[in-house]
Amino acid sequence: MVKLPQTDIYAITCEKLSRGRDNLEVVKQLLAAGVKIIQYREKEKTKKEKYRQCLALSKMCREAGALFIVNDDVDIAILTDAGGIHVGQDDLPADAVRKLVGPKMIIGVSAGTPQEAADAVEHGADYLGVGPVFGTGTKEDAGKPVGLDFLKFVAQKYRLPLVAIGGINADNIHLVSGAGIKYFAMISALVAADDITAAVHGLRRRLKARENFLTD
């Protein structure tokens, strides 16, 4: 099984929330702050625009030792030598995606119900994107929040990596961690920050504070 790197923050792009900064500038700052997973997610750009940005971002991530994941567009992931692809419930199942991308690319699948999680695991997902945990306006199609109890359920039932997503920020990341989650996907908490480096460090301080509390 292909594995996610041992890290915590899973950053997702969204240029319209990035305070006038393009994705290349945002990702440059994220990588400089030590983020090791970047997902490219741009629903409103053309294929050509996404392809051009992903070519540059994939190269940036490889040079920084970070994993670059493309959302939905399997063809762009392949053409830009991405390290992974993330698909939703309306996309191809993981086993079909595997036939296209080969054995080395990591495949993530979104899951918001027990059945969706079970199906994703059965079809060979390398990790699950679980959520939305909290209410979020970032994704128009996000659906109703699944809550912390669902995170705990999935964390207890499956051994593969779980990436929580949806409304996570510095005020609640400790709650998500407490549900047994190791990976935290965020969009606005990172790309919309005035100071992206400070935002990354602040999130990690919150996680570290929880770890210290548990070990004291």
Supply the residues annotated as catalytic. 41, 110, 139
The H or E element that residue 115 is part of is helix 114-122
Locate 131 and state its tokens.
């959520």
* C-alpha count within 13 angstroms, C-beta hemisphere, residue 35: 34
From residue 7, how far is each of 10, 13, 71, 129 by CA, in Å?
8, 18, 20, 15
Q: Is 182 exposed, middle or buried (0-12, 13-18, 19+ CB in 10 A)?
A: middle
Rounded Cα–Cα distance for residues 189 and 102 (Å): 33
What residue ranges in 56-143 does DSSP mark as E strands? 67-71, 84-87, 106-111, 127-130
Locate 32 and state its tokens.
């400089």
Rounded Cα–Cα distance for residues 48 and 216 (Å): 52
